[in-house]
Amino acid sequence: MSALLLLDPDNLDDRLEGRSLKDEDILQNLPVGTTATLYFRDLGAQISWVTVFLTEYAGPLSIYLLFYFRVPFIYGPKYDFTSSKYSVVHLACICHSFHYIKRLLETLFVHRFSHGTMPLRNIFKNCTYYWGFAAWMAYYINHPLYTPPAYGHEQVKLALIIFLFCQLGNFSIHIALRNLRPAGE
């Protein structure tokens, strides 16, 4: 796939400031004189946005569960497939899993994407962030030497209420944004 850039022929110095044309743009209707310079830029292999989001969100869900179930090679043989004695660790796994399952379902059933694809090379930097942060967070939350919150159950209850409130707010915003764009656009 390539991007088509339209530039003003009177000012070729703005080559980097040219605007990308949309698929539905018709050259005759564009605000240029009798001449215009068009540049094509190869964006490389493309991947659909749905695939991008599914990949970004399935990774953290899977990675977190590897740490939660303490698969071998993470914390050492002594802790292979053991579980935490703290209920807050189990609640954290439920919340984390809920969050990413919600995002996966929103990708499939809520989001409408304006552009069909993204350059394949971008998925690596996107996944590095999501997957890396999930591993970093899961390592400490599920660590065998984890200690529970200093203020006990009250702190956990408050955090759970805030989490649920934020998830509900996030979902309502995604629905509102979806409704701004007519189906098929």
Residues 56 and 146 in one domain: yes
155-185 pLDDT tens trace: 999 999 999 999 999 999 999 999 998 776 6
Residues 152 and 62 in one domain: yes
Residues 15 and 78 in one domain: no
Q: Is the pLDDT of residue 76 over 70?
A: yes
Q: Mean pLDDT across the stretch 111-124?
A: 87
Residues 75 and 24 in one domain: no
Residue 56 CA to residue 30 CA, distance in Å, equals: 37
| Structural domains in the chain (count) | 2
Residues 24 and 73 in one domain: no
Residues 52 and 28 in one domain: no
Instruction: Determine the structural domain holding residue 122 and report its residue range.
Output: 46-180
Q: What percent of the chain has pLDDT over 70?
A: 85
pLDDT of residue 16: 46
Residues 34 and 51 in one domain: no
pLDDT of residue 14: 47
Burial 101-129 (b: 16+ CB within 10 A, else e): ebbbebbeeeeeeeeebbeeeeeeeebee
pLDDT of residue 113: 82
Residues 136 and 173 in one domain: yes
Residues 106 and 163 in one domain: yes
Residues 107 and 169 in one domain: yes
Per-residue pLDDT band for 144 (boundaries 50, 70, 90) equals very high
Residue written as tokens 């759970």? 160
7-40 pLDDT tens trace: 555 554 544 456 677 777 777 777 776 676 777 7
Residues 106 and 77 in one domain: yes
